[in-house]
Chains A and B, each alone.
Chain A
Amino acid sequence: MKQREAFGLWVALAILAAVAVLAYRSIDATARTLAWVERTHKVREKLEDVSGAYSRATSARRAYLVAGDDSQLPDVPVLDAHLETTVSELRELLIGDAPQLARLENLAELLDERIHVLQVQIVDRRAGGTGAETAEGLALVARIRTAREAMEKSGNEALADRDAATRRDVVRTKLAEILGTCISFSILLFAFGRLNQETRRRRESETALRASEKFLDSIIENIPDMIFVKEAKELRFERINRAGEDLLGVDRSVLIHKNDFDFFPPEQARAFQALDHRTLAGGVALDIDEEPIRTKNGERWLHTKKVPIVDESGAPKYLLGISEDITERRREAVVLKAAKDAAEAANQELEAFSYAVAHDLRAPLRSVAGFSMALEEDYADKLDKTGLEFLSRMRESARQMAQRIDGLLGLSRLSRGDLVIERLDISRIAEHSAAALREAYPERDVEVVVQSGLVADGDARLIASVLDNLLGNAWKFTSKRAGARVEVGASTTDGVRAFFVRDNGAGFEQAYAQRLFGAFQRLHSAVEFEGTGIGLATVQRIVRRHGGRIWAEGEVERGATFYFTL
């Protein structure tokens, strides 16, 4: 396209130059013709002069010869000289026109001859002759006329030729001008059209460019993180977005072309620029997790990424920065950490407490139990049956309290330590618990039905403890029933899949279902069913630590079902 346009332009220029040359040459020719015509006219005038001078030279002589008037004879030499001069002048005019010059020489000769003849006749007359015109003289006059007329004719013909040539020249010049004008006009018209088209095209592409710039601008401006660009040499700001203005509390009109030292404390500006330089020198993006920045709105914390922008040669040109304001998140993290620390401290306190319980509460119990037994052993003969029974009760109470302390410790231990979550075969764990119970209570005959293929994610040790407890309870509360049956399975109620352990034992009143899970809460007397009252509390703690839920359904003497999710 461009090549074609350039070619067209050169052709147009060539045409215009040709037209100019043509016109110049045409005008030049016309000028030359005009000069020639002017000379031809001068020649004719001079020829008239020659004729006049000849007439006068002959008339003066003929006046004497014919009328005897000799008054004019004294003028004859002057007239002859004049004729001579006139002929010379004509000759000069005719230089370069050989045919006319030849004719002039012929005429001049004839004129000389005629003058000579007349002079001879004058001499003859003076000598008494007649001085009459001879036939020869007459013939000469005729020849002079012919010669003169030949010259005049030649001049006229040439004039006519030139006239025609001039007219042709004019026509040609006009044609050349018209043609040139037409071509120039066409080229101009074409060029104007092209220019118009080009202008429109440029305007359209500029509009498109502006639209695209506006689009990019709106993206940059609306990004909620600070975006800034610094030039690579003096690290002056070239660009900043709205989020950046808001963050720094500085208008971009103030910021642009200034650097960090104009806005931040010197040590901070130095730190920023050091990282800028590192980014530009390293040629790779830099990720600054946390950096404090002192702004007009107080201190903020940023997570900043700095990216070098290089030119075609790979030299750093700009530094692009993207900063996310993490002040709030950081504050939340600090609060969260404080809460976590507090929880940990509380946990540690609990641990210390548990440790003290384990150690310090057991020792006196051991004394109570130990010395009551010593009393029983050493002083049995001094006590009656009732006294011995009291001692036995004391020992039993001490033993129970020790059990409960151990239960409490186990419960508190559940709050500590990390869960090791893995895929568990619940069916297998339940079978395992049942097998252990059968071994521990060989006298019992309990039908156990475990649904196969039960799986869940959990901590193996703790989930085993859950099933040990639940199955142990089922075992315990079916002890007074013939045809005891324990079922382990999974069911879905209200879209929630839960495991369950069901028995057909003593059951409980549904109204007290929630109390089952409190530590030392018992719905049966120790005489009926022995126990520490810590088992279900432990189970609930474990289930909750797994993010699950536990609940129970029961009816007195119709059995109980414990559900749990993991």
Chain B
Amino acid sequence: MENKTILLVEDDPNDEALTLRAFAKQNIKNQIVVVRDGAEALDWLFVRGAHANRDPGLIPQVILLDLNLPKVNGLEVLRAVRADPRTKRLPIVLLTSSKEDRDVIAGYDLGANSYVRKPVDFAEFAEAIRQLGLYWMVLNEPAPTHG
């Protein structure tokens, strides 16, 4: 379980800190890669730009994607990921503040696997993270990497 990577796309350092804390609290010890905007997320995923030298064999078990991101927003990241054969089957969970119907609908239309709204209360937030980790890291069987 520990060798599975989580990609967290989050621009707000506070949210990042809280999310990492929640993972730590829930004893989720997977590697968590944090990128801070949509463009960086795509660079990392497609092993290019600043992340051209990363290990291309590192494939995230799940992507936690915020919607409201600088440069390239979450929905565009989602679209690009789904359009590329290398990444189109990656599980993507939209983890965001918005509960707007149109965001939820657009997210699912673009192929998000799940949509989770970040609760304000940290106890609730930590619980949400625990369940996410349990489901996506343990229960969910991802698509084979080559095939």
User: A residues within 8 A CB of B136?
Assistant: none
**Which residue of B has the minimal Cβ distance to A373?**
B122
Q: A366 and B118: CB pair below 8 A?
A: yes
A536 at the interface (CB under 8 A from B): no
B80 at the interface (CB under 8 A from A): no
Q: B100 and A355: CB pair below 8 A?
A: yes
Contact with B along A343-384 (1 / 0, CB 8 A): 000000000001100111011111101110110000000000
Q: Pick the contact of A398: B18, B99, B120 (CB < 8 A).
A: B120
Q: A363 and B15: CB pair below 8 A?
A: yes
Q: How far is the CA of A362 from the CA of B121 in the complex (A)?
A: 10
Q: Which 3 A-B pairs have the closest CB atoms?
A: A402-B120, A367-B14, A373-B122
A395 at the interface (CB under 8 A from B): yes
A485 at the interface (CB under 8 A from B): no
User: B residues within 8 A CB of A354?
Assistant: 100
User: A residues within 8 A CB of B99?
Assistant: 358, 406, 409
B1 at the interface (CB under 8 A from A): no
Q: How far is the CA of A406 from the CA of B98 in the complex (A)?
A: 10
Q: Pick the contact of A363: B21, B97, B121, B122 (CB < 8 A).
A: B97
User: B residues within 8 A CB of A360?
Assistant: 68, 97
User: B residues within 8 A CB of A369?
Assistant: 120-122
Do A370 and B18 contact each other (CB < 8 Å), given the known contacts A359-B68, A363-B12, A402-B120? Answer: yes
A399 at the interface (CB under 8 A from B): yes
* B116-132 CB contacts (< 8 Å) to partner A: 118-123, 125
A416 to chain B, nearest CB (A): 10
**Which residue of B has the minimal Cβ distance to A402?**
B120
Q: How far is the CA of A358 from the CA of B120 in the complex (A)?
A: 12
User: B residues within 8 A CB of A399?
Assistant: 120-121
User: B residues within 8 A CB of A409?
Assistant: 99
Q: B123 and A373: CB pair below 8 A?
A: yes
User: A residues within 8 A CB of B121?
Assistant: 369, 395, 398-399, 402
Q: How far is the CA of A365 from the CA of B12 in the complex (A)?
A: 12
Q: How far is the CA of A100 from the CA of B123 in the complex (A)?
A: 175
A325 to chain B, nearest CB (A): 44
Q: B98 and A366: CB pair below 8 A?
A: no
20 more A-B residue pairs beyond the given contacts A363-B12, A370-B125, with a C-beta to C-beta distance below 8 A = A355-B100, A358-B97, A358-B98, A358-B100, A359-B97, A360-B68, A362-B97, A362-B118, A364-B14, A366-B122, A367-B18, A369-B120, A369-B121, A374-B18, A374-B122, A395-B122, A398-B121, A399-B120, A399-B121, A402-B121
**Which residue of A has the minimal Cβ distance to B118?**
A366
Q: Pick the contact of B21: A355, A359, A364, A374 (CB < 8 A).
A: A374
A347 to chain B, nearest CB (A): 14
**Which residue of B has the minimal Cβ distance to A401?**
B120
User: B residues within 8 A CB of A371?
Assistant: 14, 18
**Which residue of A has the minimal Cβ distance to B101?**
A413
**Which residue of B has the minimal Cβ distance to A400?**
B120
- Can you list 16 pairs linking A and B with CB atoms under 8 Å apart? A355-B100, A358-B98, A359-B67, A359-B68, A359-B96, A360-B97, A362-B97, A362-B120, A366-B97, A366-B125, A370-B14, A373-B122, A398-B121, A399-B121, A401-B120, A409-B99
Q: How far is the CA of A401 from the CA of B99 in the complex (A)?
A: 16
User: A residues within 8 A CB of B98?
Assistant: 355, 358-359
Q: How far is the CA of A374 from the CA of B21 in the complex (A)?
A: 9
Contact with A along B10-52 (1 / 0, CB 8 A): 0010110010010000000000000000000000000000000
Most interface-central of A362, A371, A374 (chain B CB within 10 A): A362
User: A residues within 8 A CB of B15?
Assistant: 363, 366-367
Q: How far is the CA of A324 from the CA of B12 in the complex (A)?
A: 63
Do A370 and B122 contact each other (CB < 8 Å), given the known contacts A359-B68, A363-B14, A363-B15? Answer: yes
B58 to chain A, nearest CB (A): 29
B124 to chain A, nearest CB (A): 9
Q: A366 and B120: CB pair below 8 A?
A: yes
Contact with B along A132-155 (1 / 0, CB 8 A): 000000000000000000000000
